[in-house]
Chain A
């Protein structure tokens, strides 16, 4: 058995174990491969997130990017791609490149650059999980980095204004979603019946778009028109993250209506049980 491994990443909400695509990818892979990871979500403590998140700490080794973390897990014999053929392994790399080139800019834009989304949802959420006074600075920096990345990679001539770049990246993202939907077809996961690295990456990118409730949701609306991708996300959440989701919802602020109702129902039943006992005791007395 390997040394105990700790993953430090952003927490979750809206039914997700994490809002951050890369953290979600690593968590999904760990579930698929059966790696025993202790997940520490970044909360309002002074252990501020230094640089790249997610971070895997195992004894003295500190690894920061998702690709490297996944490589490390594979070396520790937690390999979700064991049954893939060489060609399928090559396809995995290609589709991950497609996600990073076509979908990631629009994802970053929805979270960090779109003014309404950023001010009403992203910034308060992240700021509530970072200690003061970093909470005043860090979300702004993440937003600037996202905009920078979008402009440097996609915003050259002939696209001269931010609106043109935005239009282009959303077009590309929608095309990417269509391509993923065609590739997935009717099967449960991308390579048959067991989830692999590609499923982890696709889940990591799609689930935040699918679940987080933003004011401006053009990408989410497009995703909801592709039922097989929605079913893919829901399946992974229910099969692999059910307990974690409930756990998180209990300790974090409860936003999901279904979970709130469930807990309220449990409470009511418990109260009625107590009251019933009380009455019967009183009656006995």
Chain B
């Protein structure tokens, strides 16, 4: 069975989307492009509420709705498209481990930076997150989300970390990814897998999003093979494809700067 209908990747509106959500959304887009599946990106302000798990992005295929990269990969696999079939058991274990590393360190660091670092929260997160809503709803919703994320950080022990420690963790994670990638084109040599999509999503977003400081993107830029990896995937899967997805990826609001 193949995916007949187009998949709509729904994400928050351009002005509203935050770093971590954008990273996840880009990862899903990259994955679907790698599987050669047609995808349309649709932006909605209430995407978080539409999603079955409360997280963006989610895809809407026919009458099914699946959210987050893990379940989407399973769903696409059930339909007969898989990027990791050629891997043996040990490699699959490694791939899953590295995906958890990215989720554990990079995604958590992005969330920390967005919601627990006071400067970023005041200048970027609060205005962006509540932008579709009138006052006072915009403030209430963003404070509510901030409280939720801070609770989670406290439970996993990140609340006590300083920004420097978080950036050090990001550096460690990037170092591990860089060492694993080495000089290969993709993480598992010739063929891209969902790990490549996930890493691309996060790293590209970090490199192209302008925050209050450039420290996060500097950490990634230290590793030239990672920047080359992002450029390669961007060129291969996001240019020369239909204009919609490439403009969505490349053209952002004034706050972003391009990779080139």
A residues neighboring B (CB under 8 Å): 65, 86-87, 89-91, 93-95, 97-98, 100-102, 145, 148-149, 152-153, 156-158, 179-180, 182-183, 185
State the CA gap A183–B93 with chains docked (Å). Answer: 7
6 A-B interface contacts by CB (under 8 A): A87-B182, A89-B176, A93-B176, A94-B180, A102-B100, A149-B155
Least Cβ distance of B106 to chain A in Å? 10
Residue among A65, A93, A149 with the highest chain B CB neighbour number at 10 A: A93
Q: A90 touches which one: B54, B55, B105, B179 (CB < 8 A)?
A: B179
State the CA gap A101–B53 with chains docked (Å). Answer: 18
State the CA gap A97–B177 with chains docked (Å). Answer: 13
The answer to the question of B77 belonging to the interface, with a C-beta cut-off of 8 Å to chain A, is no
State the CA gap A100–B90 with chains docked (Å). Answer: 19
The answer to the question of B123 belonging to the interface, with a C-beta cut-off of 8 Å to chain A, is no
* A156-B53, A158-B53 known, 4 other contacts, Cβ within 8 Å: A91-B180, A93-B172, A94-B94, A182-B93
On chain A, the residues within 8 Å of B179 by CB distance are 86-87, 89-90
Say yes or no: A93 contacts B155, CB within 8 Å: no
Say yes or no: A153 contacts B152, CB within 8 Å: yes
Least Cβ distance of A119 to chain B in Å? 23
State the CA gap A254–B254 with chains docked (Å). Answer: 68
On chain A, the residues within 8 Å of B100 by CB distance are 94, 97-98, 100-102
Least Cβ distance of A151 to chain B in Å? 9
Chain B residue at minimal CB-CB distance from A159: B53
Which 3 A-B residue pairings sit nearest by Cβ, starting from the closest? A90-B176, A94-B97, A97-B101
On chain A, the residues within 8 Å of B151 by CB distance are 152
The answer to the question of B120 belonging to the interface, with a C-beta cut-off of 8 Å to chain A, is no
The answer to the question of B173 belonging to the interface, with a C-beta cut-off of 8 Å to chain A, is yes
On chain B, the residues within 8 Å of A87 by CB distance are 179-180, 182
Given contacts A65-B157, A157-B54, A158-B53, contact A179 B96 (CB under 8 A): yes
State the CA gap A86–B93 with chains docked (Å). Answer: 19
The answer to the question of B210 belonging to the interface, with a C-beta cut-off of 8 Å to chain A, is no
The answer to the question of B52 belonging to the interface, with a C-beta cut-off of 8 Å to chain A, is yes
Say yes or no: A158 contacts B52, CB within 8 Å: yes
Say yes or no: A152 contacts B152, CB within 8 Å: yes
Interface string of B6-37 (1 = CB under 8 A from A): 00000000000000000000000000000000
On chain A, the residues within 8 Å of B152 by CB distance are 152-153
The answer to the question of B82 belonging to the interface, with a C-beta cut-off of 8 Å to chain A, is no
Q: A157 touches which one: B52, B96, B101, B172 (CB < 8 A)?
A: B52
Interface string of B98-124 (1 = CB under 8 A from A): 101101110000000000000000000
Say yes or no: A90 contacts B93, CB within 8 Å: no
Say yes or no: B97 contacts A95, CB within 8 Å: yes
Residue among B97, B105, B155 with the highest chain A CB neighbour number at 10 A: B97
Chain A residue at minimal CB-CB distance from B172: A93
State the CA gap A94–B177 with chains docked (Å). Answer: 9
Interface string of B153-181 (1 = CB under 8 A from A): 00111000000000000001101110110
Given contacts A149-B156, A153-B156, contact A179 B97 (CB under 8 A): yes
Say yes or no: A93 contacts B173, CB within 8 Å: yes
Say yes or no: B180 contacts A97, CB within 8 Å: no
On chain B, the residues within 8 Å of A185 by CB distance are 90
Say yes or no: A94 contacts B54, CB within 8 Å: no
Q: A156 touches which one: B54, B89, B97, B176 (CB < 8 A)?
A: B54
On chain A, the residues within 8 Å of B101 by CB distance are 93-94, 97-98
Say yes or no: B97 contacts A152, CB within 8 Å: no
Residue among B55, B104, B157 with the highest chain A CB neighbour number at 10 A: B104
State the CA gap A155–B89 with chains docked (Å). Answer: 29
State the CA gap A182–B98 with chains docked (Å). Answer: 16
State the CA gap A55–B236 with chains docked (Å). Answer: 50
On chain A, the residues within 8 Å of B93 by CB distance are 179-180, 182-183
On chain B, the residues within 8 Å of A149 by CB distance are 155-156
Say yes or no: B97 contacts A182, CB within 8 Å: no
Least Cβ distance of B250 to chain A in Å? 30
Q: A98 touches which one: B89, B97, B105, B157 (CB < 8 A)?
A: B97
Say yes or no: B156 contacts A90, CB within 8 Å: no
Chain A residue at minimal CB-CB distance from B151: A152
Say yes or no: B172 contacts A91, CB within 8 Å: no
State the CA gap A179–B92 with chains docked (Å). Answer: 8
Least Cβ distance of A174 to chain B in Å? 13
Least Cβ distance of B174 to chain A in Å? 10
Chain A residue at minimal CB-CB distance from B102: A97
State the CA gap A145–B151 with chains docked (Å). Answer: 12
Say yes or no: A97 contacts B105, CB within 8 Å: yes
Least Cβ distance of A176 to chain B in Å? 9
On chain B, the residues within 8 Å of A94 by CB distance are 94, 97-98, 100-101, 176, 180
